[in-house]
Structure 1
Amino acid sequence: MSLVKNLLAGIVFGSLSLPSIAVLPESGMWAIGAELNGKPGRGIQVDSQGGKTLILTYFGYRPDGSATFMQASGQLHGGKSFTGDLVEFKNGRALAGPVRDGETAGVVGPISVTFESATDGVVSLPGEQPQKLVRFRFEDFHQRLDRSFSVVTFGSLATMTPGYMAMKATADTLTIEHVLVNQANKVCTFSGDLVQVGKGFNSAGKRECNFEFSAPRYRIENLQVDEFGMLNGRIHYLNSEGLPFGSPDDLAGVCQGGGSVFMLPDRCSARQLGLE
């Protein structure tokens, strides 16, 4: 059994990409929160490149009702703050029209965004008061979470602890049984809420372990499983008052499909991840 565990740990270590320390905004479609009502409206496409450069594409309407798009680009400061000029364009190529270069119509005004997390923030548009900005959700990723995973938790002192997590996810609840490998059968159970934010989830609730000096509460941020079955997230350990109990752990793992390859669980299939 120890040989199997060691082989499993090697596969986990070798196949995982380490989670990023900085929480950068997710690239994709973002919506102005108060205007998100299911009807055609305004929004902002966020493109983060290299952790430093940010490109914002605003799409909306002119006073006469015609559609327009504008862009701003520049540096993302501290992984959370952006300020730039919102520029409008004109005279570009029309659908089925001849090749024609667009040109700058003018600078509409300044735009600034402060990202409070990878999936929400506050935007200030020219001539408007600051408003909520949220990552727009196109798909439901609950199915990807409702799985078992081979995992590694990465501590603040570069410690790495292998283990297994069996997750049960409903529309608004999450339960995790976390077994620590080679830790004298140490097991922790997490049970709390589940809130989808962008392509990830947040969760907070109770944590019960069969060993002493364990945090009784937790908060998980940006828990997600990508299309390759790779799990990432960050776990904050809290005391009974909800205050930090030690340093948070970064979490990484790989989805277990349920079959076996050389006595080890195989990877989740595309069908199991909801891609077919």
Structure 2
Amino acid sequence: MAALLSVENLRIVYGAVEALKGISLALNQGEIVTVLGANGAGKSTLLRAISGLVPPESGAVYLDGEALNAVPPYDIVRKGISQSPEGRRVFATLTVEENLNLGAYTRQTHKKEVAEARARVFELFPILVQRRNQLSGTLSGGEQQMLAMGRALMSNPRILLLDEPSLGLSPLFVKLIFKIIREINAQGVSILLVEQNARKALGIANRGYVLETGVISVSGPASDLRDDKKIQEAYLGGAALKRKHTA
């Protein structure tokens, strides 16, 4: 069975810097796949390339076998790929509801579908109902992350790209965000998750890839990556390893 989303030999070059060095990966229907790696490994570049925001030097991104290289970003959204970016990037001077409406800009002629998507977002993130008329810049970091994810869901995506959803959040919000990611996936959305919190990411993912300086160094089932000593030492830390053995 062909993958829902596949990246094949993708190279991304910024000037003299080769950010991605011919990487390949796949996301199957219904999966959560995580991409781990340190800062500067190329994780965000990968998501931006899939979204059509940076052109590849070579290689290609395919959705259901269709190459997306020449497809503009707004049409990639229409085809079913949406992204919640690192740093949330909500529009601070717009209300929560106005931010959500922007997420549905490709579907404005489908008012019923937009209303259904908004209801679904409010069901996933009840706090946004209370905050719907509040300026987004006044939300907490965790609430802004929920808004960014909700905005990405307003286009009814088949694939949700999540870039560091737990970054800078309190442990309580991190736990809640990962619970909601599971719920989104259970509703039929396939998820490509870029995340530095390897423990949490591998806890919900089906498979994972480790990206190091533009190259995929390790890949496999999430359970195998959790048990890999090199992964534990590099991304889970000695304390995490000790807890694993004493739990």
Structure with the bigger RCO (C-alpha within 8 Å, sep 6+) is: 2
- Compare the two structures and name the one with the higher helix fraction: 2
Q: TM-score range by the shorter chain?
A: under 0.3
Q: Which has the larger radius of gyration?
A: 1
What TM-score do you get using the length of structure 2 for normalisation? 0.25
